[in-house]
Amino acid sequence: MQYLVSLLLFFILMSCSNQDVPKFSGDWKLESLNADEESIPFPEPGPITSFRSNNLVFYYNTLMKYEIKEDSLILYDEQAGTISRRFKYEFNNKNEFILNFIRRVRVDSLEFLDIKYKSKWIKVD
């Protein structure tokens, strides 16, 4: 009985790990942008982010390197090699993902305000 349960658990884990994970590749158009749940207008057509081979990305017309660590997308300044942006990402499906990040803004010399941004990106054919 224990053998049967172990075998069943093994097959369940294998089927979960074999699922096709969406990847960052190709061109993606900004669909919506929100700051603290308020919509932020942006010029139409929306900006295009283009993921290329060798972990290169054009993000707002700037060439950067990117890295995926667990649920984070990290963009590096190509020339300086420093972290430029860090996002939490979530794929809704293979043609749509969401990037979340927090921007810390200085209110005065002692206080900071954290603004939560959320952007939705759609795959361009």
pLDDT digits (tens, 9 = 90+) for 52-78: 988 999 998 899 999 999 899 999 987
- When pLDDT is cut at 50, 70 and 90, the band that residue 10 belongs to is low
**Residue 18's pLDDT is what?**
44
Q: Which pTM does this prediction carry?
A: 0.75
How high does pLDDT run on average in the chain? 85
**Mean pLDDT throughout 35-42?**
91
E strands of 46-111, at which residues?
48-52, 56-59, 62-69, 72-77, 83-93, 96-106
* Residues 73/97, Cβ–Cβ less than 8 Å: no
The Cα–Cα gap between 6 and 61 comes to 51
**CA atoms lying within 13 Å on the CB side of residue 117:** 15
Domain 21-123 CATH class label? mainly beta
Domain boundaries, the chain: 21-123
**Residue 63's pLDDT is what?**
92
